[in-house]
A = this chain, B = another copy of it.
Amino acid sequence: MSSNQTRHIRLTSHPDGMAHRWPLRWAAATPAGRGPVIGSTTRLADRNVIGTHGGSYSVYRALAVSAGTLSPLQRPDLANTHPVAEIGPHPQWSEPGKIVSLDPWGHLAQQVFDGAIAEGIDIRPSIAVTQARLNMAELNSLMAQGSLKPDGQVLHPNGDVSVTKIAVDPVWWLPGIAERFATPEHSLRRTLFEQTGGMYPELVTRPDLEVFLPPIGGISVYVFGAVADLARPRVRLTCRVHDECNGSDVFGSDICTCRPYLIHGIEESVRAAQSGGDQAATYFERTECVAGVQDARFQQLMPDVLHWLGITRIHRLVSMSNMKYEAMVGQGIEVGERVPIPEERVPMDANVEMEAKKAAGYFSEAVPDPDLLRDTIGRPLDRM
């Protein structure tokens, strides 16, 4: 690989045996000990990862460069992008194996690596922390019904909800990912290369590069209340972990229950924030909703973002998924009550998906009779 200025293209790099100037020591206790994640596409000699920043957006960035609307040397202006809330450092950041799929220093890159940045090293944040207000029609309806009441702090009279929004890009430490999936690292690397049709040969040629920035979407976290309280196990924490489902979350498609679940999670979080507990709703841009099918979803990496926030105990988990519950508990996070969605919130047609999920081992207080499952059928196509 080379810069745009030269004609030589290196198809893949190989370890050169020289000590790298910017070694990454994952889970080191200090940022200086850990070192900066450098995925620059311009200063190639500094790179210490496979892939580059921005997930899937790197492909669009390439198109924008091709179209001449973006300079290949462009660096984002990071002035005034300091996090609006302090997060960490938490003990989990340096416990080996706790966090393997994000960079715990990702929101602090500018501060903790300011010396290297001043020197010209192309170091970018992988986490953004901002404040925002949400407004969702369903919450307005709950307020009109008196089920949610404005307090002027969390929920405003016009229906706005004050939140801290955190956007997290994936940063994968491959040895830890392999361990989480109970597979040898070299198999993981090879499978990532082969199942993508040959993406990033460095996955197999550079075993010395342990960090991969995969071209996938990230995680959004919405916190209702004080972010710092998430790390205090005595403060009651209500949490929903939600997998993205474009069809339902955005358009309210009735073949699944994703948006009703999301609204329920946010409603419970708002209510809990008002009563003095702290809340988080975590949104993974990642899975598609496949009604009634045991799909390829997995939750092994999901607890990382909870560890990053310093969470050790979730008092109320707003989810029926055994996979999510087991992933959290398996990663050492205590889970108290599990809160199911009220029946009346489930759209009629989505009962197909609900019954299939319950039968597949999703948590619910009522376990359906397999014989009755045959009677739960969707609306015929001619009644669409």
Query: Interface of A with B (CB < 8 Å)?
Result: 1-4, 9, 11-13, 39, 41, 47, 49-52, 55-70, 72, 84, 131-138, 140-141, 160, 162, 165, 177-178, 181-183, 187-188, 190-202, 204-205, 213-217, 220, 222, 244, 246-247, 249-255, 262, 283, 285-288, 296, 298, 300, 347, 349, 379, 381, 384
Contact = CB atoms under 8 A, between A and B. Distances in A.
B285 A246 contact: yes
A11 B9 contact: no
Contact of A135 (B50, B196, B205, B252): B252
A133 B249 contact: no
Contacts of A3: 194
A244 B384 CA distance: 26
Contacts of A39: 197
A312 B47 CA distance: 48
* Copies of the protein in its oligomer: 2
Given A4-B194, A250-B262, 5 more contacts: A72-B195, A135-B252, A136-B252, A220-B247, A246-B285
A336 B263 CA distance: 38
B215 A183 contact: no
Contacts of A12: 11-12, 198, 201
Contact of A62 (B47, B162, B195): B195
A200 B11 CA distance: 9
A347 B195 contact: no
B252 A191 contact: no
A125 B247 CA distance: 19
